[in-house]
């Protein structure tokens, strides 16, 4: 039987062809393509049409999908169309029809690939047929174009495309060339496991192999808008299905949106494409939580983007706090408030304090009950007892509590989760601020809201507001005028306030009291005048010392002490505010009044041989008159070291340019003196030769501040003021803020050496040096890193220092010491080292070396505490295969050598409380862990990986290093020589 005539309801560019087939008047009917599902043999198409547009009593025998291709659409193929399902929406009935189009049939449309085909659905009975143009609704446009690409056995891609009229077309292409311009890969299922997710998806392994492309793939999880990436290998289950295990905990400290890509598995991927996600449903049960030492619970939520791609939202899980009130009674703080909770019903509730300074944690149980049966508001109340007792029950000082972040800890089925408390209330301080007395101190506590609306808590001893209004030196006396007061709410204390001013030796803490000439109360401030003779300070110091000014404020039995300084000040590292020199028969004693970076007043004192003081005056006068001065370079680091950038630049100058007058300054009793003396031209700091050469020098090169190795303060020397000043640096900048900003110097550096273009931009932007001053030379010590034998089975453990540890007592009581001692004494670490025949070399920081006896009880032959001078840092780096550190910039040297680094972070917030120069994730290239257990896990992972660095590290190395060669010192030499020549 002949096919019935077809009633056409769509006008195409080939109108004449349609008219020959359609004698009836045309109407612009169309159908919505609901689904497009491709497999290895063909495409299943499902369309939806309103029943009011269908012919009556459709017969499936005469209904079909038709595809047409060719110049006049003369090549056509048809496949049967069958009824699939019915639906009713908004009072209107719809029918869904399904057709299956084999690839072998579509290939008959054209002998040449690529080609494009257009499609219709034809629904008919024996008497009439209606032709519907395949279209798509707006909501499905993106998915049809990006999420439904299929591949046949020949490696051809069958891709639906939407033209400007919203009509559906089929594009058939065959990939060619080395670059994979299109690779359809779909995420089909997700399973949450202990470490993260197991992803299951589809892709065509045949497509890769048919075109000669590597079939080994990887998933990339990349933070949107940033270079941070994580890599996960893909395992093929068969030619179509793949799986990948995605470990999530490592990325828990980088909140934000992350995107999934699929790429080839090479170290630097040749291609990558977004991983598509056809169904929303697969993400519903995939939410995963990771504990974070600072943020509490961090959630990972997989979701489908508007472009049908797979992305992950990483965010801190918060609990909203509505109100809280507090009271104090005999060492106990009582609190009560309301919060929002719409999750599961926990077994237990606790309020957790995490101290920002010590990272110590304290928790108290809270009683919680629902406020309204239909709302998610809960009332909680509890109390904090034993404020003045530590864990051992001994007395402690509450001011060490400082500031703490607050968390709600809930337990369910034995699992603990900490939720960060968040509040929009502006009345937290008002409702909870209280002052109370303990022994001879006044304390204040309060709940408060941070700038990011997180809830925190503070207990502090009441502070002093103080300011120096005037400073002067007159007839050998240092005279200070100022004012001070307690910042207390207790008004009856203010009339009893009185002041004591003292000067303290920073190292010995010996002190001398100033005479108080006048003090009186005005507007609750104690205004005072104090003076002391510089000569009276001599009992506090030897030949060289730093003295700090302190103020003590008394009110009856209460007393508080703070450093004394100015509220409004301009800080210069190389400025002398006031000075006094006492000349004696054979020596001169000098006192220089300067500011600290925070505006506190300090006095630097130095005793010189009198002949050196006279030499200073003589050479200054001569240097001012000299027109052309012969080049004399002086290089140094800290006064007692020769193993950093200063030493390596000096070694280069002595070996490559022995004709140059280049000198190295170091202290006489330095352990590094013997090594540097082999090169010649060594100046012993404080010697006649040291003074003579420095006063004639034309250039100074320092790895730290140049004043470290000068015989006098820099501004006193004409050679320093007029000579070339070069900052060699002692690490790559970007982590902690440093005090080398241009505005901190009256005599700033002429040459500032950096290691990359990104570091140069940062120094120019954040530290305000001009482009000519900052040069991408690399660090001189890097030259030597790439020389020498291969690494041994050794790990270097090299933490940096904490500026807030001022004495052995504070060191031994610190979390810093407890963490490292616990790790070094951990039996699991000892077994790991013994089993794998690995030696761990612990190299305490320069400032920690005096406390190495605190680690004498480490009971392992595989752990060695390396004391200063026994080995150089470079020796330790070169013989080690892995580094453990916290924030030390020496890790960049290890990354330069392409060796792996583990970063142990447990006090990040306090360490970076002054901010960082670059986003932290840009500079910590390697595993970042926050607990001892995580650190041990990371060690085991690196063992399995053969002690090699991660792919993400090698890919991001260019952010840190623009040069990876042995010519860093040569570039510094050339830059300095050119600058000195220009300035002559």
- Cα separation of 894 and 652, whole Å? 21
Domain with CATH 3.40.50.11820 in the chain: 626-782
* Global pTM value: 0.67
Specify the 3-state DSSP secondary structure of 920.
helix
Predicted local confidence at residue 605, as pLDDT: 95
Identify the CA nearest to 503 among candidates 462, 447, 561. 561
Distance CA 686, CA 821 (A): 39
CA distance 574 to 333: 48
How far apart are the two ends of the chain, measured CA to CA in Å? 105
CA angle 75, 78, 84 (to 5 degrees): 150
DSSP 436-502: EEETTEEEEEEEEE-TTSBEEEEEEE--EEEEEEEEEEETTEEEEEEEEEE--S-GGGGGGEEEEEE
Tokens at 329, concatenated: 């009674």
- 3-state SS, residue 915: coil
CA-angle at 231, arms to 230 and 232, nearest 5°: 130
pLDDT at residue number 138: 60
Give the closest residue to 968 by CA, choosing from 787, 784, 783, 788: 783
Q: Which residue has the tokens 């053969």?
A: 946
Fold of the domain spanning 464-576: Immunoglobulin-like (2.60.40)
Report the distance separating Cα 175 and Cα 157, nearest Å. 8
Residue 493 has what pLDDT?
Answer: 63
pLDDT reported for residue 355: 82
- From-to residues of CATH 2.60.40.10 in the chain: 464-576
User: What is the distance between the alpha carbons of residues 511 and 351, in angstroms, rounded to a whole number?
Assistant: 44
List, in order, residues 6 or more apart from 850 with CB less than 8 Å away.
808
Residues 872-875: contacts with CB under 8 Å, at least 24 apart: 872/643, 872/672, 872/675, 873/643, 873/644, 873/798, 873/843, 874/643, 874/781, 874/784, 874/785
Domain 626-782 in CATH 3.40.50.11820? The answer is: yes
Summarize pLDDT for 769-786 with one digit per residue, the tens.
999 999 999 999 999 888
Contact 699, 633 (CB under 8 A): yes
Query: Looking up tokens 């690839």, which residue turns up?
Result: 103
Q: Rounded to whole angstroms, how far apart are CA atoms 459 and 396?
A: 13
Q: What is the pLDDT of residue 393?
A: 47
Beta partners for residue 118, in sequence order: 68, 169
Contacts of 556 (CB under 8 A, 6+ apart): 493, 496
Cis peptide leading into residue 351 (ω within 30°): no
How does strand 901-904 pair with strand 441-449?
unpaired
Could you write out the DSSP letters of every residue in 132-178? EEEE--GGGHHHHHHS--EE-TT--EEEEEE-TTSBEEEEEE---SS
Of residues 608, 614, 679, 615, the one with CA closest to residue 643: 679
**pLDDT confidence of residue 639:** 94
- Rounded Cα distance between 347 and 417, Å, is 12
Backbone phi, then psi, for 619, in 5-degree steps?
A: -70, -35
Query: What's the confidence (pLDDT) of residue 11?
Result: 35
Looking at the domain covering 318-461, what would its CATH class be? mainly beta
- The CA-atom distances, in angstroms, between 533 and each of 267, 536, 768 are 68, 5, 40
For residue 250, which of 935, 859, 841, 768 has the smallest C-alpha distance?
Answer: 935
- Give dist(CA 476, CA 532) in Å, integer: 9
Distance CA 42, CA 61 (A): 21
Using CA atoms, how far apart are residues 737 and 645, in angstroms rounded to an integer? 20
Residues of the chain short of pLDDT 70, as ranges, are 1-28, 137-147, 252-253, 293, 358, 373-374, 386-401, 489-495, 915, 917-919, 921, 984
Q: Which CATH code for domain 185-315?
A: 2.60.40
What gap in Å lies between CA 756 and CA 734, rounded to an integer?
Answer: 11
**In which element (H, E) is residue 230 found?**
strand 229-233
Written as six digits, the tokens of 830 are 């000892």
Specify the CATH number for 789-959; select among 3.40.50.12580, 3.40.50.300, 3.40.50.1100, 3.40.50.720.
3.40.50.12580
Identify the pLDDT of residue 556: 76
- Report the C-alpha gap between 249 and 252 in whole angstroms: 5
For residue 834, how many other CB atoms are within 10 A of its CB?
Answer: 12
What torsion, rounded to 10 degrees, do the Cα atoms 218, 222, 226, 227 define? -20
Looking at residue 469, its pLDDT comes to 94
Q: Which residues of 233-261 are buried (b: 16+ CB within 10 A; e: fewer)?
A: ebeeeebeebebbbebbbbbbbbeebbbb
CB burial of residue 900 (10 Å; 0-12, 13-18, 19+): buried
């Amino acid at each position: 039987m002949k096919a019935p005539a077809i009633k056409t309801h769509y006008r195409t560019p080939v109108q004449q062809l349609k008219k020959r087939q359609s004698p009836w008047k045309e109407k612009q009917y169309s159908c919505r393509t609901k689904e497009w599902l491709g497999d290895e043999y063909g495409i299943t198409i499902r369309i939806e049409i309103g029943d009011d547009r269908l012919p009556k009593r459709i017969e499936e025998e005469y209904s079909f999908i038709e595809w047409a291709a060719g110049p006049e659409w003369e090549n056509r193929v048809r496949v049967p169309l069958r009824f699939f399902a019915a639906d009713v929406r908004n009072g209107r009935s719809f029918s869904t029809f399904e057709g299956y189009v084999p690839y072998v049939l579509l290939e008959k449309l054209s002998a040449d690939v690529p080609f494009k085909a257009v499609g219709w659905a034809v629904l008919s009975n024996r008497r009439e047929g209606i032709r519907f143009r395949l279209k798509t609704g707006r909501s499905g446009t993106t998915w049809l174009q990006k999420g439904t690409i299929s591949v046949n056995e020949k490696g051809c891609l069958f891709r639906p495309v939407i033209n400007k009229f919203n009509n559906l077309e089929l594009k058939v292409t065959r990939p060619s060339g080395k670059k994979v311009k299109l690779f359809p890969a779909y995420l089909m299922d997700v399973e949450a496991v202990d470490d993260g997710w197991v992803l299951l998806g589809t892709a065509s392994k045949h497509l890769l192999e048919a075109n000669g492309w590597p079939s080994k793939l990887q998933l990339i999880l990349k933070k949107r808008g940033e270079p941070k990436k994580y890599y996960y290998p893909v395992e093929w289950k068969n030619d179509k299905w793949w799986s990948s295990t995605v470990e999530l905990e490592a990325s828990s400290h980088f909140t934000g949106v992350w995107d999934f890509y699929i790429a080839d598995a090479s170290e630097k991927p040749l291609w990558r494409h977004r991983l598509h996600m056809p169904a929303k449903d697969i993400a519903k049960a995939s939410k995963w939580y990771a504990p974070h030492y600072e943020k509490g619970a961090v959630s990972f939520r997989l979701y489908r983007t508007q472009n049908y791609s797979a992305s992950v939202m990483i965010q801190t899980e918060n609990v909203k706090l509505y109100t809280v009130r507090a009271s104090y009674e005999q060492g106990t703080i009582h609190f009560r408030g309301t919060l929002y909770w719409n999750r599961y019903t926990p077994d237990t509730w606790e309020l957790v304090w995490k101290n920002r300074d010590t990272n110590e944690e304290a928790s108290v149980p809270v009683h919680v009950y629902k406020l309204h049966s239909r709302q998610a508001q809960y009332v909680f109340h509890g109390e904090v007892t034993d404020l003045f007792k530590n864990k051992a029950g001994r007395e402690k000082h509450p001011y060490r509590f400082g500031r703490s972040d607050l968390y709600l800890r809930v337990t369910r089925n034995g699992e603990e989760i900490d939720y960060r408390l968040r509040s929009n209330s502006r009345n937290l301080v008002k409702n909870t601020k209280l002052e109370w007395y303990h022994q001879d101190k006044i304390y204040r506590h309060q709940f408060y809201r941070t700038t990011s609306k997180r809830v925190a808590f503070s207990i502090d001893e009441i502070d002093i507001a103080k300011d120096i209004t005037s400073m002067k030196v007159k007839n050998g006396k240092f005279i200070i005028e100022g004012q001070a007061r307690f910042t207390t709410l207790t008004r009856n204390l203010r009339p009893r306030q009185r002041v004591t001013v003292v000067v303290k030796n920073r190292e010995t803490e010996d002190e001398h009291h100033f005479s108080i000439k006048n003090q009186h109360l005005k507007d609750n401030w104690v205004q005072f005048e104090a003076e002391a003779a510089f000569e009276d300070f001599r009992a506090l110091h030897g030949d060289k010392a730093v003295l700090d000014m302190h103020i003590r404020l008394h009110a009856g039995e209460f007393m508080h002490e703070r450093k004394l300084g100015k509220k409004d000040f301009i800080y210069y590292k190389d400025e002398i505010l006031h000075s006094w020199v006492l000349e004696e028969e054979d020596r001169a004693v000098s006192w220089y009044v300067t500011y600290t970076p925070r505006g506190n007043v300090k006095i630097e004192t130095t005793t010189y041989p009198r002949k050196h003081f006279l030499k200073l005056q003589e050479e200054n006068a001569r240097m001012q008159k000299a027109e052309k001065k012969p080049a004399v370079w002086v290089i140094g680091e800290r006064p007692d070291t020769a193993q950093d950038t200063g030493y390596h630049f000096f070694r280069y100058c002595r070996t490559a340019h022995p004709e140059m007058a280049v000198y190295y300054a170091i202290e006489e009793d330095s352990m590094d003196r013997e090594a540097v003396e082999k090169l010649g031209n060594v100046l012993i700091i404080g010697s006649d030769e040291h003074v003579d050469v420095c006063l004639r020098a034309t250039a100074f090169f320092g790895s730290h501040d140049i004043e470290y190795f000068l015989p006098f303060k820099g501004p006193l020397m004409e050679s320093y003021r007029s000579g070339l000043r070069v900052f060699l640096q002692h690490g790559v900048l970007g982590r902690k803020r440093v005090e080398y900003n241009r505005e901190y110097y009256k005599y700033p550096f002429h040459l500032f050496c950096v290691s990359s273009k990104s570091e140069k931009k940062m120094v120019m932007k954040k530290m305000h040096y001009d482009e000519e001053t900052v040069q991408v030379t690399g660090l001189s010590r890097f030259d030597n890193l790439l020389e020498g034998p291969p690494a041994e089975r050794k790990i270097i453990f090299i933490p940096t220092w904490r500026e807030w540890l001022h004495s052995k007592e504070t060191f031994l009581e610190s979390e810093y010491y407890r963490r490292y001692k616990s790790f070094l004494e951990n039996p699991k670490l000892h077994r790991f080292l013994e089993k794998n025949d690995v030696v761990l070399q612990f190299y305490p920081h320069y400032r920690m070396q005096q406390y190495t006896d605190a680690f004498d009880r480490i009971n392992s032959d595989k752990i060695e505490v390396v004391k200063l001078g026994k080995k150089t840092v470079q020796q330790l780096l070169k013989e080690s295969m892995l580094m453990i550190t916290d924030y030390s910039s020496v890790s960049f040297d290890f990354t330069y050598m392409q060796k792996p680094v583990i970063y142990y972070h447990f006090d990040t917030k306090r360490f970076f409380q002054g901010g960082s120069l670059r986003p932290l994730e840009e500079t910590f290239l390697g595993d970042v862990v926050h607990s001892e257990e995580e650190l041990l896990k990371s060690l085991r992972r690196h063992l399995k990986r053969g002690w090699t660095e991660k792919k993400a590290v090698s890919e991001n190395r260019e952010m840190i290093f623009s040069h990876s060669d042995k010519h860093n010192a040569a570039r510094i030499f050339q830059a300095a020589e050119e600058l000195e020549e220009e300035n002559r």
